[in-house]
Structure 1
Amino acid sequence: MHYGRVPTFRPATWRLQIFGATASGEQHFLTWDDFGQLPRSTVLADFHCVTKFSIMGNEWTGVPASAFLAAVPPADGVGHVMIWAEYGYSANVRMGDFDRDSTLFATELDGKPLSPERGYPVRAVVPHLYAWKSVKWVRAIEYLTEDRRGFWEDRGYHNVADPWREQRYSYQEDPGEGPP
């Protein structure tokens, strides 16, 4: 499932922007070749959809989120990240969820390149949260000093999205789990 049509990937013009509250105060861009030079890792993780199904034991390979934090450090006080995709789709993630060993920007699933429908060329994978936080067709990472709701969060989904706590809808949020 996804929002919008499947975009066409053009490696010569593809850019990943890292912006917002960066330590340098500047926005940064990575080309497809730059992205390919970043460290890679593999994560074995389950995939939980808010519509109440799970796919167990997925092998995701790609660039760990920690590689972006090292290449373009956030400023002091950054507590959240907004992951942006094609067509303005976005998902907010707490820094503690973004900066986990299991969070990565996948280019492969189960040893094969991602299909366009699954997010090719790059899909965020935040496996310990519901799948809408695992943004397809990633184009930007924005460092935030204040939490802001992403696409589905703005439409009534839970701001945190922990499947083990069944955090599906915003009306379930406890104080402090959403933006002020």
Structure 2
Amino acid sequence: MSDSLDDLREPARLPPGQREAPLRPIHYGRVPRIDLDTWSFTIEGTTVDGSRTRLSWTDLMSLPHIEVRADHHCVSHRSTAGLVWGGVPARAVVDLAPPAPEARWLFASAAYGYHANLTVDDLLSPRTLLATHLDGEPLVPEHGWPLRLVVPHLYGWKGPKWLMAFEYLASPRRGFWEERGYHFNGDVWREERYAHQE
């Protein structure tokens, strides 16, 4: 892909209600042990042809890679500025297994039953990627190794660590944190933190 790091730079200001802080490896539950020899990434649900696509780690690594400079915004009001995420642009995965026209939502699933909902439009943002690297180094397990969804304009909970699958949906469904009182959309610039704001 021809996008340069500068083309994919985030605006140089913090969203409302955020303060700058170091990136901390916050997660729900234990850090999983993952074997790349048996690991796979699945795209399923309301796909354009009704099929399921499964990618091995080798398949995923054969796709284009980009770097995106983007701040990470936690719903707890903490933001970490200037991170450089490297990985596969989400659009490259969508191109392999596109959604049907009526599939406007996505369920992103990860290890231990964790999942997040977002729109297909959010997934198709040129800055959304399936991250394998952070600041030039492979992700560590606490930060989501081997694969983490990064959606810079949404709060961090919308980007699951230890990502394993995309499921396209024709009807919206709430993810793990959204079922526990967090906002359905999670747009950081609109301060969409909690469900009572919907």
TM-score bin (small chain): over 0.9
Equivalent residue number for residue 39 of structure 1: 64
> Could you tell me how far apart the structure 2 residues matched to 1:23 and 1:95 are?
13
How many angstroms apart in 2 are the aligned matches of 1:31 and 1:163?
32
- The residue that corresponds to 2:19 in the other structure is none
Q: Which runs of 4+ in 1 moved over 4 A?
A: none
Unaligned ranges ≥5, structure 1: 174-180
Partner residue in 2 for 1:94: 119
Taking structure 2 as the reference length, the TM-score comes to: 0.86
Pick from 140, 156, 172 the counterpart of residue 131 of structure 1: 156
Q: Which amino acid aligns with 2:150?
A: V
Identity %: 50
Quick check: 1:117 aligned with 2:146? no
In the TM superposition, 1:29-178 aligns within 5 A as 29-173=54-198
CA-atom RMSD in angstroms: 0.7
Aligned: 1:5 with 2:30: yes
Q: 2:52 aligns with which of 20, 23, 27?
A: 27
TM-score, structure 1 as length reference: 0.94
Residue 6 (structure 1) shift: 0.6
Are 2:42 and 1:17 aligned? Answer: yes
Letter in 2 for 1:7: P
Distance 1:31 1:47 in 2: 28
How many residues are treated as equivalent by the alignment?
173
